[in-house]
Amino acid sequence: LTAQHYDIKRGDYSKVNDVDIELFQSVLGDRVLTDPALVEPYNVDWMRIMRGQSKVVLRPKTTQEISKIMRHCNGRKLAVVPQGGNTGLVGGSVPVFDEIIISTSLMNNVLSLDETAGVLVCQSGCVLKDLDNYLSERNLMMPLDLGAKGSCQIGGNVSTNAGGLRLLRYGSLHGNVLGLEAVLASGEVINSLSTVRKDNTGYDIKQLFIGSEGTLGIVTAVSILTPVRPKSVNVALVCCDTFEQVQSVFVTGRKLLGEILSAVEFFDSSCYQLVKKHLSLSLPLSSHHQFYVLIETAGSNHSHDEEKLSLCLEELMSSNVIINGTIATDYTKMKNIWNCRELIAEAINKEGVTYKYDVSLPLKCMYELVDIMRERLKDKALCVLGYGHIGDGNLHFNAVGGSHSKELLDLIEPFIFEWTADRKGSISAEHGLGFKKANFINYSKTDETVSLMRRFKDLLDPKGILNPYKTLPRIH
C-alpha cells in the first residue's frame, strides 16, 4: 500500500533537490543512495505491505554526520525517517511519502564494554545478534532477544522499546538501557550516555527516546546492561487442550521454577500448521493439540535446573494440566523448539496478507479475543492465529487474507481496539504505533496524555520533520 491508499495529505515539507544532494555528498561522500534500484528495499517494510516513495537514502557512520544532516534538513524543512534493520511491524520504519531515509546500518561499532559491571556501549546500528555473539565470547548476553535478531538493530530496539522473548526474566529496555545518545531535529546532540546503574540527577531524559519510534530524535548510541550468560539452559514444550490449562502452566511454572524461569511462550495449532507448511519445521511430539507452551529455564546449575523442570512437568502431568510434554537439554532440540515459536511471524508472512495485532490483555481473557475474531471473520480470512508472550500478558493476534481487503480490515478495526480498551489492555504491547496504529492511540492513552506527548514533540521537533505521520495521531 502506498500513500494514495490512505486518506492522508503530504505535509508541507520541501522536496529534495540537487543542492541538498550535494550537501549530503559533502558530508557522506558516496554513502548517499539515489539509484532507484538501491533505494527500493529501504522503501518497503518487512511485511511487504507499506511502500514509501523516498528517492534518497543516507548512510552515516558517525553521530557528527547525522548532526550535520539533521541541521541541514531542519533548515530546509526536509522530512526524514530513521531506519534501523527495517523489521518493524507497524509501518514506522519506511517513508509514507518521500521522506529522506537515514539508515543507521553503517553505525555498527562497539564503543566499550565494562566486563566487571556488565555494561556495553555501542553505536545504534549494531545488529542485535552480532552484539549477543560478541558478548557470548565474554560470558555475557543481551538482555533482550527476538525473532528478528539477525536483522534488527539496537537503535531500532530502543526506539520501539522492543519486548521479545525474555522480557519476563530481564525486564523492559526502560530498565536495561542505562544511557543513550540522540541527535535532535535541530542537529543538537544530546549525550545522555551514562554507564552507571543508579543516577537520580534530575529528569531521566533518555526514557523519552525509548519507545518514541524515531519521532523525537535519532538514537546514535546506547549504553545497556548485559546480564551474565546462564551456564545452563533447558527448554520444555508442553501441549494443552484449553487456554485455561495454558494459564495453569504459567502459574505452576512460576511457582515451581522460580528464579530460573526465563521464558513462557505459547502458540495455537494454527501457528503450528503454518510453520510446518512454510518452513518444514516440526515439534518433537507425536500428537497434535490446540495449544503449545514453551517453557525455558536459565540458571547456573544444570542438574538442579533439569531436576526442577522435570518435577514441574510431572506436576503438570499428574494434575492433568498438560496432555503431553518433552524436555530438551541439547542445543539442536532446543533450537528446533524455539524455531517453531520464533519463526511464526515469518511463516504467517508467507501465507498471505497479514493483519497483525499486538495487544496486552489480562491473561484470563487473552485467548477469548482470538475465538471471538475467528467467529467474526469466519471465511473472510484464510486463517486466524493466536500466539505470544504469555508470561508478559502479550497476545499476538493475526489474521491472514488472500489479498488486501477493506471488508476484512473493517471487521477487525476498530473492534479489536475497543475490545482491548474495555478490558484495560494496551493496543500495542510491544511493536509500537508506527503508521498503522497511530490514529488509535486514544484507545490506550487519555487526551491529556496525548496532548502532553504533542507538546514534547513540538519542543524537540518544532517543524515536525522527524518521522512524520507516525506514533502521534494524524490531524486531518
166 belongs to the binding site for ligand MLT (CB under 6 A): no
Element at 398 (helix H, strand E): strand 394-401
Residue 105 interacts, among ligand FAD, ligand MLT, none and using kind-specific CB cut-offs from 5 to 8 Å, with none
Dihedral over Cα of 75, 78, 84, 90: its sign: positive
CA angle 413, 85, 122 (to 5 degrees): 125
Query: Could you give the string, one character per residue 172-211, with x where binding to ligand MLT holds by CB under 6 A and - elsewhere?
Result: ----------------------------------------
Pick between residue 55 and residue 396 the one whose CB is nearest to ligand MLT. Answer: 396
For the bound state, the minimum distance from the C-beta of residue 390 to ligand FAD, rounded and expressed in Å, comes to: 13
Dihedral over Cα of 156, 167, 279, 132: its sign: positive
Q: How many residues bind ligand MLT (CB under 6 A)?
A: 5
Among 46, 266, 292, 357, binds ligand FAD (CB under 6 A): 46
Q: Which residues is 406 bridged to in the sheet?
A: none
57 belongs to the binding site for ligand FAD (CB under 6 A): no
Query: Could you give the string, one character per residue 342-361, with x where binding to ligand FAD holds by CB under 6 A and - elsewhere?
Result: ---xx---------------
Among 65, 98, 181, 213, binds ligand FAD (CB under 6 A): 213
Q: Which residues contact 192 (CB under 8 A, 6 or more apart)?
A: 179, 180, 181, 182, 205, 206
Pick between residue 82 and residue 393 the one whose CB is nearest to ligand FAD. Answer: 82
**Residues in 134-163 that interact with ligand MLT by CB under 6 A:** 147
Pick between residue 245 and residue 467 the one whose CB is nearest to ligand FAD. Answer: 467
Length of the chain: 476
Dihedral over Cα of 33, 39, 41, 44: its sign: positive
Report the distance separating Cα 170 and Cα 150, nearest Å.
20
Residue 344 interacts, among ligand MLT, ligand FAD, none and using kind-specific CB cut-offs from 5 to 8 Å, with ligand MLT
Among 184, 218, 328, 345, binds ligand MLT (CB under 6 A): 345
Residue 118 interacts, among ligand MLT, ligand FAD, none and using kind-specific CB cut-offs from 5 to 8 Å, with none
Residue 32 interacts, among ligand MLT, ligand FAD, none and using kind-specific CB cut-offs from 5 to 8 Å, with none
Hey, what's the cell of 79?
Answer: 522530512
Count of CA atoms in the C-beta half-sphere (13 A) of 145: 20
Residue 441, CA distances (Å) to 381, 426, 473 in order:
26, 9, 7
Please, are residues 326 and 282 in contact by the beta-carbon 8 Å criterion?
A: no
User: Regarding beta strands 110-114 and 218-225, do their DSSP bridges make them parallel or antiparallel, or are they unpaired?
Assistant: unpaired
Query: Could you give the string, one character per residue 70-99, with x where binding to ligand FAD holds by CB under 6 A and - elsewhere?
Result: -----------xxxxxxxxx--xx------
For the bound state, the minimum distance from the C-beta of residue 402 to ligand MLT, rounded and expressed in Å, comes to: 19
176 belongs to the binding site for ligand FAD (CB under 6 A): no
For the bound state, the minimum distance from the C-beta of residue 150 to ligand FAD, rounded and expressed in Å, comes to: 9
From 257-265, 282-290, 306-314, 426-434, span contacting ligand FAD (CB under 6 A) = 426-434
Query: Could you give the string, one character per residue 396-415, with x where binding to ligand MLT holds by CB under 6 A and - elsewhere?
Result: x-------------------
Residue nearest to ligand FAD (CB): 156
123 belongs to the binding site for ligand FAD (CB under 6 A): no
Instruction: Residue 345: name the closest of 391, 400, 264, 394 by CA.
Output: 400
Residue 396 interacts, among ligand MLT, ligand FAD, none and using kind-specific CB cut-offs from 5 to 8 Å, with ligand MLT
Report the distance separating Cα 386 and Cα 270, nearest Å.
8
Report the distance separating Cα 5 and Cα 94, nearest Å.
15
Please, where are the H alpha helices in 53-212? 63-76, 128-136, 154-160, 167-170, 173-176, 206-209
Report the distance separating Cα 380 and Cα 355, nearest Å.
12
- Which residues make up the interface to ligand MLT (CB under 6 A)? 147, 344-345, 358, 396
Binding residues vs ligand FAD (CB under 6 A): 46, 81-89, 92-93, 104, 124, 146-148, 152-153, 155-157, 159-160, 162-165, 213-214, 218-219, 345-346, 430-431, 434, 467, 470
